[in-house]
Homo-oligomer: A and B are copies of this chain.
């Protein structure tokens, strides 16, 4: 093989060819041959020339061929180059934008909103979609209520962020009277309303310290109950998912064993959550292609994610999961705009 400089090899012409090849392959999933490219690009080159170029691209690790007499297929690095440098994102038509805006009606509780977001996203992209629940750090307590269930069991209702309701059941050492509960409720609401849950937890710890000296009966009851109410920490992070059956249509995943492993990992949630977390630190759309994700089950998949934010703070992540051979230029802007619209839907809930 003759030695050439990179700039020589990755010139504009080869990039045009490469881009065309990737687009072809994304379209119909078949390895692309030199004849096809000669026909469908307007470079006016013979198949032989194109073969030479493709051989170079293969040497660079951008293409590979399944076997000698098949055409060529992009590698992971090939896709990476494609999405990073060659891809021209399509504009969304207003119809789709309107559709998303309509579905993401802010007048529903958080979980429904996330569910709706996910199903809309999966329908529009025709892929599987995930949306993490907003992380609880930004949560501020609006109101708190105790309600006796039976002896020694109390239902705690926490209203956070205006419309999200968490309820927890706590076991108490003894039975409290209705008026004790009422007083504790008043005291705690006055003391904690408007504050962030984390701040409240810290304050409770401090109060517990101080209480050793100052034994005000009422305060003691209240703080003890508050401690129990808030102790079972964060709701562990979680996501909702929709449209995973869309993945059953894609030929690359026709192996039912692989598909099962993939679906199982969706149910398990652990791996997917780890992956999504990687996307929560930086703004904007992020793409994991094939093995880049680091999880075996996702080897044949790409994941396109974007964090969504409220008041400039990143609250969670959403994204789609599809075959590596997905229509990136169509999917990326959809994920992007959906994240933004989810952010503004959450914002208008305040």
Residues of A within 8 A of B (CB): 107-109, 142-143, 145, 147, 149-150, 155, 157, 159, 162-163, 165, 167, 169, 244-245, 248-249, 254, 256, 259-260, 263-264, 267
Contacts and interface: CB of A to CB of B under 8 A. Distances in A.
Contacts of A145: 145, 157
A225 to B, nearest CB: 17
A167 B264 contact: no
Given A107-B169, A162-B149, A163-B155, A259 B267 contact: no
Contact of A163 (B169, B259, B267): B169
Contact of A245 (B143, B162, B167, B264): B264
Given A245-B263, A256-B256, A167 B165 contact: yes
A245 B260 CA distance: 6
A194 to B, nearest CB: 14
Nearest to A119: B267
Nearest to A109: B167
A155 B162 CA distance: 9
Given A155-B159, A157-B157, A163-B169, 6 more contacts: A143-B147, A149-B163, A157-B165, A245-B260, A248-B263, A254-B256
Contacts of A142: 147
29 contacts: A107-B169, A109-B167, A109-B169, A142-B147, A143-B147, A145-B145, A145-B157, A147-B159, A149-B163, A150-B162, A155-B159, A155-B162, A155-B163, A157-B157, A157-B159, A163-B167, A165-B165, A165-B167, A244-B263, A245-B263, A245-B264, A245-B267, A248-B256, A248-B259, A248-B260, A248-B263, A254-B256, A256-B256, A256-B259
Instruction: Choose among A244, A248, A260 the residue with the greatest number of B CB atoms under 10 Å from its CB.
Output: A248
A162 B155 CA distance: 9
